Chains A and B, each alone.
Chain A
Amino acid sequence: MTEIKLKLKKVPEFPLEADVISPDHFAGKSVADIKKLIVYHGNEEKTLGEFFDITGKPGEIADLKITIEGNLSNVKRIGEKMTAGEIVVNGDVGMHVGNQMTGGKILVNGNTDDWAGAMLNGGELEITGNAGHYVGAAYRGFWKGMQNGVIKVHGKVGNEALTWVNGSKPAKRFPTLKCGSAGSFLGIHGHGGTIIVEGNCDRCVGADQVRGTIVVKGSVSRILPSYKKLGEVKEIELMSGEKITGNFTEYSGDHSVEKNHSKIDKKTGKISNSSNGRLYIAV
């Protein structure tokens, strides 16, 4: 594995748009070439070398690791659309980290701002601190948000995480969010997402969810009126086939969505799991 190290010289005055910090742009380039990559600071074009000390040995994309040090809370779009390789960020990071990535891994040892992993389509994003709003969400006006991959947030995620998430059992796409706790409107307009919350959630969990599974191991401040209680369960099967055990109350919904009427499976006589959204809250 080859490694390239970046160290922030000083916190930029304006947000720095550094979508070039990704293995896709670094692969096959010398350190001198990497320093010349263009970043945007306010309305000016600058080079990456003006803001970062860059050392290390470049290599092929698949085994390239980028390590970034410093307070990056004003640096946006790290790892945008990355397809392979690995990024490790030691420090807080700004908006849009790992947005639209399709492969590889990003580890943030710190907090992130909004839109972390927005419209993720593969790969893994791990955040050890808290994340801002719109984690893994669809950008404005998009009807398909996160379609594949995994986001793990050890701390709290903000509001409207995983909006318009779009998974598919036949296509084996299981977009998944695991987080410590969550804000309001978690998984709104969900179409087959898997969300596991270790702690508590704010209001309107799973609003407008057509299908998908949301597991809350803590409590929810206010459950939507359109969710219907089905009973208690001891084991939950996620879309990917993975199983979670514990004491949970099972709800179906969101029943305000047209397509989401509880369908009864003709063979088993039970409410079908695949065509309905499910919300499990720990007893």
Chain B
Amino acid sequence: MISYRFIAVCGTLCDDLEVDVDIKENKVVEVRNGCQIGTKKYFASNPSDHRYERPLIKENGTFKEVSWDEALNKAADILVNTKRALLYGFSSTECDAQGKGVELAEILGAILDNTASVCHGPSLLAIQDVGAPTSTLGEYKNRADLVLFWGCNPVHAHPRHLGRYSEFVRGYFRKDGRNDRYIIVVDPRNTHTAQIADLFVRVNPSEDYELINAIRAILRGTELDGKEVSGVPMEDIVALVDKLKSCKFGVIFFGMGLTQSLAHHRNIDAAICLVRELNDYTKFLLTPMRGHYNVAGANQVFSWQTGYSYSIDFSKGYPRYNPGEFSSVDVLMRDEIDASLIVASDPASNFPAASVKNLFKHPLISIEPHHTPTSVNADVILPPAIAGIECEGTAYRMDSVPLRLRKVKDAPGECLTDKEILERLIEVVKQKKESKN
């Protein structure tokens, strides 16, 4: 038995986990300090019926175990003959593999996208429109005396966020932890995060924009007509504005409740403008609550290699960017693709049904360690080692701080790392392209 200190697997990237590994059996036996989500992820890496250990090819509706060469050959055959392939996922793997994904997309002239497309993509659009005043989580921990959670529920989605950065933790200037912070939650539902807050503002579903708009107008000294906005009484909004103005260091954390309700990026646009204007009175910042542990990394890697963070089209040989035109859900809804490579993601579980139908119409290659609705419908399955548990790498936390992932144990069976798989696939694709020309 051997113990290590490791990083967990969501956007919070907790780096204080202790993992006990049975070296003989090559199994995780205990995880300490982790939340339920992180602990489960470590245990899920153990060999089980749900784990792929050898490459598989679908023949006549059933999967057949094959060698790596045969599987990569088949995958390359599919990709080389495409005119508009979709490369999607990348948010739950490490940065080197993401870089290889960009290389492959460029060679194929394909569409490249990551899961930001269906989660915090709207935040990126808003940031491109109006900028983003943000900081690292450590600053919030040490300084913030007002924390506003808007449209997110960290008690369930980022369980250790509250304890490590935003609510209960004792910071350098916030020695009394929770008692030194004023917590506000804005949400349509009385969530568990709202129940432990000092102030809960219940907003009507999908009317966040109007509320932010009213807050900004009141902040500018405008007296508004009307008795309520988005279900919130006017006097409550005025009191909320006073609270926001009077803090020493405030922060807004926002989640899917803002980015994926109606108005999408315009909600974030307004929230960023609000933060910008609050800085006339006090120090205020904001940070998106990223979900996948390395979706921030995918945005970083894609940005530094192509100039754009997601929804990238290489069909003309150079990267072009236009969410709505090249984002994966949209191209699938319009049925524009002819094959797809899904890396470390499960679109079949969270894309609209109509787009998933179109995804399954065409050849599908899946690089995925577990049985998922996407992988069971794939034509080729390439089983990877799980990054951060079975191989090393780099991941970006939700505040874009890069952290090193470490290896806990060996991968079961013949699993290769995502990076190795993509490297070998690129080699085969290059050879086939040359012989084709």
A residues touching B (Cβ–Cβ < 8 Å)? Answer: 13-15, 17, 40-44, 95, 114-115, 133-134, 139-141, 143, 160, 164, 184-185, 188-189, 203-204, 207-208, 222, 224-226, 228-229, 254-258, 261
Residue of A whose beta carbon sits closest to that of B129: A141
Q: A141-B128, A185-B263 are in contact. Are A226 and B222 (CB under 8 A)?
A: yes
Contacts of B323 in A (CB 8 A): 140
Q: A256-B216, A258-B220 are in contact. Are A14 and B263 (CB under 8 A)?
A: no
Q: A226-B214, A254-B213 are in contact. Are A17 and B316 (CB under 8 A)?
A: yes
Contacts of A44 in B (CB 8 A): 83
**Stretch with Cβ within 8 A of A (4 or more), from B52-60, B146-154, B224-232, B288-296:** B224-232
Asked if B336 and A14 sit within 8 Å, CB to CB, the answer is yes
B residues touching A (Cβ–Cβ < 8 Å)? Answer: 82-84, 108-110, 125, 128-129, 209-210, 213-214, 216-217, 220-222, 224-226, 229, 262-263, 266, 269-270, 273, 277, 314-316, 321-325, 336, 338
Other-chain contact of A189, B129, B263, B321 (Cβ < 8 Å): B129
Q: A140-B322, A224-B213, A225-B214 are in contact. Are A258 and B110 (CB under 8 A)?
A: no
How far apart are the CA atoms of A140 and B323 in the complex, in Å? 8
Asked if A225 and B83 sit within 8 Å, CB to CB, the answer is no
Residue of B whose beta carbon sits closest to that of A261: B220
8 nearest A-B residue pairs (beta carbon): A43-B109, A42-B83, A256-B216, A226-B217, A141-B128, A42-B84, A225-B214, A255-B222
Residue of B whose beta carbon sits closest to that of A226: B217
How far apart are the CA atoms of A15 and B213 in the complex, in Å? 38
Residue of A whose beta carbon sits closest to that of B229: A225
Contacts of A222 in B (CB 8 A): 210
How far apart are the CA atoms of A258 and B84 in the complex, in Å? 45
Q: A222-B210, A225-B226, A254-B213 are in contact. Are A95 and B325 (CB under 8 A)?
A: yes
Contacts of A204 in B (CB 8 A): 209-210, 213, 263, 266
Contacts of B273 in A (CB 8 A): 208, 256-257
How far apart are the CA atoms of A256 and B271 in the complex, in Å? 12
B213, B225, B262, B324 interface centre (most CB from chain A within 10 Å)? B213
Asked if A41 and B220 sit within 8 Å, CB to CB, the answer is no
Residue of A whose beta carbon sits closest to that of B234: A225
Q: How far is the CB of A189 from chain B (nearest CB, A)?
A: 7
Contacts of A207 in B (CB 8 A): 209, 213, 266, 270
Q: A225-B226, A226-B214 are in contact. Are A43 and B83 (CB under 8 A)?
A: yes
How far apart are the CA atoms of A139 and B325 in the complex, in Å? 12
How far apart are the CA atoms of A221 and B393 in the complex, in Å? 51
Q: How far is the CB of B268 from chain A (nearest CB, A)?
A: 13
Q: How far is the CB of A118 from chain B (nearest CB, A)?
A: 10
How far apart are the CA atoms of A189 and B126 in the complex, in Å? 12
Asked if B210 and A40 sit within 8 Å, CB to CB, the answer is no
Asked if A226 and B224 sit within 8 Å, CB to CB, the answer is yes
Q: How far is the CB of B6 from chain A (nearest CB, A)?
A: 37
Asked if B266 and A42 sit within 8 Å, CB to CB, the answer is no
Q: How far is the CB of B65 from chain A (nearest CB, A)?
A: 32
Query: What's the A-B contact tally at a CB cutoff of 8 Å?
Result: 107
Contacts of B315 in A (CB 8 A): 17, 40, 42-43
Asked if B84 and A184 sit within 8 Å, CB to CB, the answer is no
B84, B226, B277 interface centre (most CB from chain A within 10 Å)? B84
How far apart are the CA atoms of A136 and B213 in the complex, in Å? 24
How far apart are the CA atoms of A90 and B109 in the complex, in Å? 32
How far apart are the CA atoms of A41 and B322 in the complex, in Å? 17
How far apart are the CA atoms of A254 and B220 in the complex, in Å? 11
Contacts of B210 in A (CB 8 A): 203-204, 222, 224-225
How far apart are the CA atoms of A226 and B241 in the complex, in Å? 15
Residue of B whose beta carbon sits closest to that of A143: B129
Asked if B83 and A185 sit within 8 Å, CB to CB, the answer is no
Q: How far is the CB of A230 from chain B (nearest CB, A)?
A: 11
Contacts of A15 in B (CB 8 A): 336
Residue of A whose beta carbon sits closest to that of B217: A226
Q: How far is the CB of B80 from chain A (nearest CB, A)?
A: 11
A41, A133, A141, A256 interface centre (most CB from chain B within 10 Å)? A256
Q: How far is the CB of A144 from chain B (nearest CB, A)?
A: 12
Asked if A226 and B83 sit within 8 Å, CB to CB, the answer is no
Contacts of B83 in A (CB 8 A): 13-14, 41-44
A to B CB contacts below 8 Å, 10 in the list: A13-B83, A114-B325, A115-B325, A140-B125, A185-B266, A207-B209, A225-B210, A225-B217, A228-B224, A261-B220
Contacts of A133 in B (CB 8 A): 324
Contacts of A184 in B (CB 8 A): 262-263
How far apart are the CA atoms of A160 and B270 in the complex, in Å? 14
How far apart are the CA atoms of A140 and B312 in the complex, in Å? 13
Contacts of A261 in B (CB 8 A): 220-222
How far apart are the CA atoms of A228 and B221 in the complex, in Å? 13
Q: How far is the CB of A208 from chain B (nearest CB, A)?
A: 7
Other-chain contact of A43, B213, B269, B314 (Cβ < 8 Å): B314
Q: How far is the CB of A16 from chain B (nearest CB, A)?
A: 11
Contacts of A41 in B (CB 8 A): 83
Q: A43-B109, A140-B322, A222-B210 are in contact. Are A188 and B226 (CB under 8 A)?
A: no
Question: Can you add 8 more A-B contacts, CB < 8 Å, to A140-B128, A207-B209?
Answer: A43-B84, A43-B108, A43-B110, A188-B266, A208-B269, A222-B210, A226-B213, A226-B222
Q: How far is the CB of A262 from chain B (nearest CB, A)?
A: 9
Contacts of B263 in A (CB 8 A): 184-185, 204
Asked if B224 and A225 sit within 8 Å, CB to CB, the answer is yes
Contacts of A14 in B (CB 8 A): 83-84, 336, 338
Q: How far is the CB of A15 from chain B (nearest CB, A)?
A: 6
Contacts of B84 in A (CB 8 A): 14, 42-43
How far apart are the CA atoms of A247 and B352 in the complex, in Å? 45
How far apart are the CA atoms of A254 and B214 in the complex, in Å? 10
Q: A114-B325, A140-B323 are in contact. Are A256 and B266 (CB under 8 A)?
A: no
Contacts of A40 in B (CB 8 A): 315-316
Contacts of B222 in A (CB 8 A): 226, 228, 255-256, 261
How far apart are the CA atoms of A184 and B264 in the complex, in Å? 12
Q: How far is the CB of B384 from chain A (nearest CB, A)?
A: 26
Q: How far is the CB of B215 from chain A (nearest CB, A)?
A: 8
Residue of B whose beta carbon sits closest to that of A139: B322
Q: A188-B266, A208-B273 are in contact. Are A256 and B226 (CB under 8 A)?
A: no
How far apart are the CA atoms of A242 and B125 in the complex, in Å? 36
Contacts of A255 in B (CB 8 A): 217, 220, 222
Contacts of B336 in A (CB 8 A): 14-15
How far apart are the CA atoms of A124 and B109 in the complex, in Å? 34
